[in-house]
Amino acid sequence: MTRGQVYTLEGIFAALVIVVSVFFALQATTAMSGTPSGQAAVEGEDGLTRSTLSAIDDRALRSAVLYWTDEGFHCTPSDQEYYTGSADLSTCPLSTGSEYSDDLPTNAFGAALAEGLGDTYQYNVVLRYESGTTKTQQMVYQGQPSAGATRARASVPLANDHQFTAADGTQSGTRLSDEPGRLYAPPTDGDASDDDLYTVVYVEVVAWQT
């Protein structure tokens, strides 16, 4: 093959590359222009939900998971285990206007959700754990999610020596191993008698724009 033929082939290949590039660029432009605005919003919501949850430190998540009394989460109605429209401060030592009193749940985790998602979002929080089968415990319920609702999930390992969280957000002094039957999620070994993992709780946040 002569040098002239090589240059000719290189020119043909270069032209083909340009044609193919233009074709795919047009396809991408068409696809983007035909994408409904709702889909773009969902992607944005998904990113916001994930970024909000990932920005919450492990200690705040664990404290929220262990923010549990004998009958439900702190500051929930006496006949209900989880939060709905607002906290019931009559069932806990928090007062109106105090830190976290307007958040769901009424702790650093709830405050971080409110700050990250803003006033235009509602959210539910569900806790999942294994006990023979996968079981759930509702933490926050603000309504039926819309079709565009998005989810983000984080895992929270619990050790037998982790303490339950008091209503004011401090450690209560009572370890999981002290009362192994108290938490909604039972210990994986049945009695939390050793120094191993108590269980793993998965915190799922479902958020949608109102």
117 contact partners, CB below 8 Å, separation of at least 6:
48, 49, 52, 123, 207
Task: Check residue 63 and give its pLDDT.
Answer: 98
First to last CA, the chain: 69
Q: Please, are residues 192 and 179 in contact by the beta-carbon 8 Å criterion?
A: no
- Summarised one tens digit per residue, pLDDT across range 99-124 is 999 999 999 999 999 999 999 999 99
Predicted confidence band of residue 193 (pLDDT cuts 50, 70, 90): confident
Mean pLDDT in residue range 2-29: 40
Task: Check residue 151 and give its pLDDT.
Answer: 92
- Summarised one tens digit per residue, pLDDT across range 119-176 is 999 999 999 999 999 999 999 999 999 988 999 999 999 999 999 999 999 999 999 9
φ and ψ of 109, to 5 deg: -65, -45
Task: Check residue 196 and give its pLDDT.
Answer: 81
Give the C-alpha separation, 93 to 106, whole Å. 11
140: exposed, middle or buried (Cβ count in 10 Å: 0-12, 13-18, 19+)? buried
Q: Residue 36 belongs to what H/E stretch?
A: none
Q: What is the 3-state secondary structure (H, E, C) of 99-159?
A: CCCCCCCCCHHHHHHHHHHCCCEEEEEEEEEEECEEEEEEEECCCCCCCCCEEEEEEEEEE
Task: Check residue 97 and give its pLDDT.
Answer: 87
- Summarised one tens digit per residue, pLDDT across range 46-81 is 588 889 999 999 999 999 999 999 899 999 998 999
The sign one gets for the Cα dihedral 178, 187, 92, 121 is positive
Predicted confidence band of residue 26 (pLDDT cuts 50, 70, 90): very low
Mean per-residue pLDDT of the chain: 82
How many CB atoms are closer than 10 A to CB 29? 10
Predicted confidence band of residue 44 (pLDDT cuts 50, 70, 90): very low
Predicted confidence band of residue 13 (pLDDT cuts 50, 70, 90): very low
Share of the chain above pLDDT 90, in %: 62
Phi/psi-derived region of residue 118, left when phi > 0, alpha when psi is between -120 and 50, beta in every other case: left
Task: Check residue 115 and give its pLDDT.
Answer: 95
Q: Please, are residues 204 and 146 in contact by the beta-carbon 8 Å criterion?
A: no
Task: Check residue 210 and give its pLDDT.
Answer: 86
Q: Where are the domains of the chain?
A: 38-209
Task: Check residue 28 and give its pLDDT.
Answer: 38
Tokens of 203: 């915190």
pLDDT above 80 (res 17): no
